[in-house]
Amino acid sequence: MTDRPTQLKLAPETRAAQALHYIHPMHGAVVPGIEPASTFARDADYAPMGDAVYARDGGPTTQHAEAVLADMEGAAAAMAFTSGMSAVVCLLETLEAGDHVVCPVVGYHGTIGWLHRMAEKRGVKATFYDATEPGALEAAVTPGTKLAWIETPTNPNWDVTDIAHAAEVAHAAGALLAVDCTVAPPCTTKALELGADIVFHSATKYLNGHSDITAGVLAVTETGALWDEMRMIRTLQGTALAAFEAWLLIRGMRTLHLRFERASESALAIARHFEGHPGVEAVLYPGLESHPGHEIARRQMTGGFGGMLSLLARDEAAARTIATSTQVFLPATSLGGVESLIEHRIAVEGPHSVVAPNLLRLSVGIEAVSDLIADLEQAIERAS
């Protein structure tokens, strides 16, 4: 990153596209390089020569990725991890026995599963609330709550939570609010500006956008004791994102705005096409005016509703047939990449899943939307 002065107030997509106006100070390269060193020398006074000391704490490429992400989020700082789950575990590891945390009953199954483990193994008190029920979050949060975790939109039903309202509820009880914004990255939702204290992303998904790394990030409104503890946990666990993966994350974030815009446009077209379709029981997508959370989503997802939607097939057998009959959609887990994916979600989550057995989760990529619609049409026809 350069310290070249500018009088222009640059738009977020400009700063992201240029990786914070990167120009290599020695040879002028306009693409960030990869610094794979595991250790870094000290000067004559035995002081670190830069910000990096040892790669387990995060080297220069990782720090650059964190700076780009913090800029996009409007965060005081960001931290990059080897996977989304390593970021989740790092945050939850700061909880002590007896601490109370609330979390939606439907959401990313890795987070929910780890909270169940902490409740069973560590004595953390976890309350799971129904995010679709009015007042459920308020009822779940108590004066002793340490952390309120929300996910919006929730995976894979795409229910929408009002982040600003959730922040008011959490802060009134003295709790911190953490928001999983994996499917609503900062090009569309600025959770910290809406009152959240911590934002989590599985950076494997939209932030990277090319299905070629696993990564996770946490961004915060302010640093302090909690931040220092999380940094210590990451160092001791050895889960700082490595240089090559950090470089790929930077590469992905540079095109985030364009990719997300295209995916949002295509997903909305698909949702509108199949809403009321005779071969589909329902379409779950917050961009549809019929979605119960549409107005909240419209207020806080200012850059598009994203490429994630779900179709409810006629029954579980039809869902399985559709998922294995597509020719453009790839039958694979994950989301947010340039390629479109289809997934029979309950088959992935397993026997403890509360997801509807006829639910198909779609991650819409950047292909021609006409091809995607035609592909789903033929697969639905095959299922019927």
Does residue 242 sit in the same domain as residue 284?
A: no
Q: Measured between alpha carbons, how far is 295 from 286 in angstroms, rounded to an integer?
A: 9
Q: Measured between alpha carbons, how far is 53 from 121 in angstroms, rounded to an integer?
A: 35
Does residue 331 sit in the same domain as residue 373?
A: yes
pLDDT of res. 79: 98
Does residue 197 sit in the same domain as residue 229?
A: yes
Does residue 137 sit in helix, strand or coil? helix
Q: Measured between alpha carbons, how far is 318 from 359 in angstroms, rounded to an integer?
A: 10
Catalytic residues: 56, 108, 180, 205
pLDDT of res. 354: 84
Q: Which of 238, 253, 268 delimits the end of a domain? A: 253
> In the chain, how many domains are there?
2
207 with 80: CB under 8 angstroms? no
Phi and psi of 265, rounded to 5°? -60, -45
pLDDT of res. 203: 98
Does residue 211 sit in the same domain as residue 247?
A: yes
Does residue 106 sit in the same domain as residue 229?
A: yes
pLDDT of res. 8: 84
pLDDT of res. 349: 82
Does residue 141 sit in the same domain as residue 34?
A: yes
Does residue 187 sit in the same domain as residue 59?
A: yes
User: Domain with 92 in it: what CATH number?
Assistant: 3.40.640.10
Is residue 5 assigned to a domain? no
For each successive 10 residues of the chain (384 residues), what is the average pLDDT?
66 92 87 92 88 90 97 98 98 97 92 94 96 95 97 96 98 98 98 98 98 98 98 97 98 98 98 98 98 97 98 97 98 97 90 87 98 98 95
Helices (H) and strands (E) in the chain, counts: 13, 12
H/E element, 183: none
Does residue 178 sit in the same domain as residue 189?
A: yes
The length of the chain, given as a count of residues: 384
Phi and psi of 73, rounded to 5°? -80, -15
Is residue 161 assigned to a domain? yes
Identify the domain containing residue 365 by its residue range: 256-383
Taking residue 132's Cβ as centre, other Cβ atoms within 10 Å add up to 16
Does residue 46 sit in the same domain as residue 61?
A: yes
275 with 288: CB under 8 angstroms? yes
Does residue 274 sit in the same domain as residue 222?
A: no
Does residue 45 sit in the same domain as residue 153?
A: yes
Is residue 4 assigned to a domain? no
Is residue 296 assigned to a domain? yes
Does residue 260 sit in the same domain as residue 190?
A: no
The DSSP symbol for 184 reads: S
371 to 56, 70, 277, 360, 375: CA distances (angstroms):
44, 36, 17, 18, 6
Is residue 208 assigned to a domain? yes
